[in-house]
A and B are shown apart, each in its own frame.
Chain A
Amino acid sequence: MKVAFVGKGGAGKSAIAGTFARALARRGTAVLAVDSDPLPGLALSIGLESDEAPIPDDAVVERQQGEEGPRFRLRPGLEAAEAVERYAVTGPDGVRFLQFGKAREGGPQLFRSQLAFLQIVRKLPTESWNVIGDLPGGTRQAFTGWGSFAETVLIVVEPTAQSMLSGRRLARMAELDEGPQRVVAVVSKAREPGDAELVSRRTGLEVVATIPWDEALADAERKGLAPIDAAPHCPAVEAVQSLTDVLVEEMVR
């Protein structure tokens, strides 16, 4: 499967995406987790000590005159799967991790690795790989092609007016050309029994999972630890594991 987590900043995308990636990897399938946030945070939620997983310069070539397509591309002959084997770091449970370039690098170097990154996640074959993407908060990347690798977009929504407004805007990703096949909501930090219904009504989206507010998860985030390691049996982690089960079963069907 190829999924992307989107949503308003602070909704819990990285914590959910990191836990999702780990839970999926424990089922024995190949998982590539990708962070396209120039202020990365997914690595911590997976349990990686470092978020250094750059695509090196020599993996990328510039478009020649007369050629079509984006300005930078993967070096000819370098397949997406091979690029992952070479450049993605390996985390707990065998999750592979790739970062698309950090803001501090800036300039043309950053753009170079970003375009190569996008090519890798788009071309990586779904038969052998699961791709779990964590997009930056807000709507910019979601509506400018950076989530285009995903068949399913999971919009993480808190039951707050701001987060639900963002969710309603992001729901329009379903109308994108070459957009995702499916756009659904994951309710995050739910505190009231009616929160899932509220999010569904205000965003117009189907809710596939409700992750409860969980102090144990908040504490893991405070300490910079992967929730699945720091609080493996807390209700929030268990709810993300159930989400993983639901999506895997849907895929089988």
Chain B
Amino acid sequence: MKLAVVGKGGSGKTTTSSVIARTMARQGKSVVALDCDSNPNLGISLGIGDEETERLVSMRQALDEGEEEHASTWDKVIDRYGSDGPDGVRLAVVSRIDNPEPG
């Protein structure tokens, strides 16, 4: 299944998503948690800590900087730039906007 959690800021999207992801992973399902927020912090709620959350390179950043071949599959991108969280949830960040340098 593919689920998207949406709503107003601060209403609990990230917390809800993280509990769903962890619960499904505990049931033995293979789970990719995609943080689609340009201010990503799903990692904290999943339990990987804020340092690792901050360290994760977003997939857009990786593709823009040419670190990944254009023909690469999403599976490979998630393998390479994702991070393993508790219960085996694989976390990947789509994009991040907090760079003061223009461009």
Contact = CB atoms under 8 A, between A and B. Distances in A.
A9 B100 contact: no
A107 to B, nearest CB: 20
Interface of A: 8-11, 39, 41, 136-140, 143-144, 161-162, 164-166, 169-170, 172-177, 179
Nearest to A170: B98
Nearest to B53: A165
B50 A143 contact: no
Nearest to A11: B10
Contacts of A174: 100
> In which size bucket is the chain B interface?
20 to 34
Contact of A140 (B11, B45, B97): B97
B8 A162 contact: no
Contact of A144 (B10, B50, B97): B97
A11 B50 CA distance: 18
B79 interface: no
Contact of A139 (B14, B45, B54, B98): B98
B100 A176 contact: yes
A10 B97 contact: no
A71 B37 CA distance: 28
Contacts, number: 66
Given A9-B10, A136-B9, A162-B14, A169 B100 contact: no
Contacts of B101: 175
Which 10 pairs across A and B sit closest by C-beta, in order of nearness? A10-B10, A9-B9, A137-B9, A138-B39, A175-B100, A169-B98, A9-B10, A139-B39, A162-B41, A139-B98
Given A8-B10, A139-B98, A143-B100, 6 more contacts: A11-B10, A137-B39, A139-B96, A143-B98, A173-B100, A175-B101
B39 to A, nearest CB: 4
B44 interface: yes
B44 A165 contact: yes
Given A137-B10, A162-B45, A8 B39 contact: yes
A179 to B, nearest CB: 7
Contacts of A170: 98
Contact of A165 (B54, B97, B102): B54
Contact of A138 (B38, B44, B53, B99): B38
A143 B103 CA distance: 11
Contacts of A138: 9, 37-39, 97
